[in-house]
């Protein structure tokens, strides 16, 4: 039977529509770029307020190797935790590897990737050291230590004190609070606070490492089949990226002596 040209076109259109429907049900077409949402709080140089940083550089390098597109959003860590829990994002930069609150691991997991990190106490007046020791012993003290939003429990654990002695603020205002004597000290990831203090020009700030060995940071991922698959893909891609080149200057900074002055 000879079909008219119009019939052929209509048949082809139906077949094409069926193909598109199947592709939509079974996943992205072969060779299509995958897209993932990344959320981070500003911790320069690891992550900056404009969406750049060492972590985004790592992910972008991996994305080029795996045909993956990452979009970056900046906000508070507490919001990032909530968005990851609610599966609004795919990646959270950064987590304290295996040290987040138990409820985090009920809905989320961490990537098979870690980065050495250092947590320091930044202060101007040495009296904070005596106050800190009193707090550790459970003795009365008016100690006030500030840390970044969403990190009170973590830093209380690192410091070995009751969380009541800590206050959470946006990390970018902490150096000015310290300079104005509104807080006794800042306790948080060393490189980010160090860089904020330098950029703000705050003088005579001392720093002291809070642990004997470097701690580890990681990335938060969804605890789901999608998250499991993505975790495996990231592991493969990160193994192909020259991470030493990306984090070289960062590693020099965290290897500074355990005590010193920001200069």
167 has pLDDT over 50: yes
Question: What local confidence, expressed as pLDDT, does residue 33 receive?
Answer: 78
With cut-offs at 50, 70 and 90, classify the pLDDT of residue 207. very high
Fold of 119-209: D-Maltodextrin-Binding Protein; domain 2 (3.40.190)
CATH numeric code, 34-117+215-261:
3.40.190.10
List the one residue out of 263, 240, 239 whose CA is nearest residue 253: 263
Cα distance between the two ends of the chain: 87
Q: What is the pLDDT of residues 101-147, one digit of tens each?
A: 999 999 999 999 999 999 999 999 999 999 999 999 999 999 999 99
Give the separation between CA 131 and CA 133, rounded to whole angstroms. 5
List the one residue out of 126, 83, 119, 103 whose CA is nearest residue 209: 119
222 has pLDDT over 70: yes
Hey, CA dihedral for 99, 183, 208, 197, is it positive or negative?
positive
Question: What local confidence, expressed as pLDDT, does residue 5 receive?
Answer: 36
Q: What is the pLDDT of residues 58-88, one digit of tens each?
A: 999 999 999 999 999 999 999 999 999 999 9
Question: What local confidence, expressed as pLDDT, does residue 263 receive?
Answer: 83
**Is 104:81 a contact under the CB 8 Å cutoff?**
yes
On average, the pLDDT of the chain sits at 89
Question: What local confidence, expressed as pLDDT, does residue 18 receive?
Answer: 33
Given the DSSP bridges, would you call strands 166-169 and 145-148 parallel, antiparallel or unpaired? Answer: parallel
Start-end of CATH 3.40.190.10 domains in the chain: 34-117+215-261, 119-209
């Amino acid at each position: 039977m000879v079909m008219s040209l119009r019939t052929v076109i209509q048949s082809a259109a139906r077949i094409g529509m069926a193909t598109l429907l199947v592709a939509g049900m079974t996943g992205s077409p072969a060779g299509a770029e995958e897209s993932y949402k990344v959320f981070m709080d500003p911790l320069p140089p690891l992550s900056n307020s404009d969406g750049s940083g060492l972590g985004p550089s790592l992910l972008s390098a991996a994305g080029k190797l795996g045909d993956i597109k990452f979009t970056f959003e900046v906000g508070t860590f507490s919001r990032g935790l909530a968005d990851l829990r609610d599966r609004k994002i795919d990646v959270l930069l950064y987590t304290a590897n295996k040290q987040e609150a138990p409820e985090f691991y009920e809905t989320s997991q961490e990537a098979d990737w870690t980065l050495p990190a250092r947590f320091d106490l930044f202060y101007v007046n040495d009296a904070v050291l005596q106050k800190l020791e009193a707090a550790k012993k459970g003795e009365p003290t008016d100690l006030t230590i500030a840390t970044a939003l969403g990190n009170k429990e973590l830093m209380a654990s690192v410091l070995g004190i009751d969380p009541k002695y800590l206050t959470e603020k946006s990390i970018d205002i902490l150096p000015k609070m310290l300079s104005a004597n509104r807080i006794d000290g800042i306790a948080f990831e060393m490189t980010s606070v160090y860089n904020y203090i330098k950029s703000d020009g705050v003088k005579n700030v001392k720093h002291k490492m809070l642990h004997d060995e470097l701690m580890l940071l990681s990335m938060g991922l969804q605890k789901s089949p999608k998250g499991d698959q993505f975790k495996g893909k990231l592991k493969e891609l990160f193994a192909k990226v020259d991470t030493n080149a990306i984090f070289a200057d960062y590693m020099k900074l965290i290897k500074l002596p355990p005590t010193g002055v920001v200069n």
